[in-house]
Structure 1
Amino acid sequence: MKHTTVQIQNLKCGGCANTIVTQLSKLEGIFDVTVNNDTDEVSFYHNLEEELNVVKTKLSDLGYPMVGEQNSLPKKAKSFVSCAVGRMTK
């Protein structure tokens, strides 16, 4: 099992973190998801390289693209929605 940490954009609060943990934990092959709001990092365990790509795509779809990826206005807007959802489901 491999431990991976990625740095993301648009991470604002605990609501964002809750959404990320909830959504990534639903993915097959992804375990022990944690979010560090101070460093804008998401850490998790996985077995296959394809699972890492699925995580990156899911994060981007939620509005949290990797640092270095394009951070368009629609992605920023999605992150606000994800944030609100995360706050309501805490």
Structure 2
Amino acid sequence: MVTTTYQVQGMTCGHCVSAVSAEVGAIQGVSDVRVDLATGQVTVTSDKPLDTASVRAAVDEAGYDLVGE
């Protein structure tokens, strides 16, 4: 298992957390997504390292921005 933390910008409420969790959680191989609204950190556990472009696309689909990477 691999755990990676990403910084997401633009989340302001519980709906934001749900949207990001659902989109990132749908990436193949992802087993857990934890979103900290206060810090904007999204911690993803997966069976192998994730392609950052896939995570960026999922976060974008949810309506938010992946910072850095």
**TM-score bracket for the superposition, by shorter chain length:** 0.7 to 0.9
Runs of 4+ in 1 over 2 A off after TM superposition: none
Alignment length, in residue pairs? Answer: 68
| Structure number with higher strand proportion | 2
Alignment partner, residue 24 of structure 1? 24
Alignment partner, residue 87 of structure 1? none
Alignment partner of 1:48 is 2:49? yes
Let me know the Cα RMSD of the aligned residues: 1.8
Normalised to the residue count of structure 1, the TM-score between the two structures is 0.65
Alignment partner, residue 74 of structure 1? none
Unmatched segments (≥5 aa) in structure 2: none
- Percent identity reads 29
| Aligned partner of residue 67 in structure 2, secondary structure | coil
Larger Rg: 1
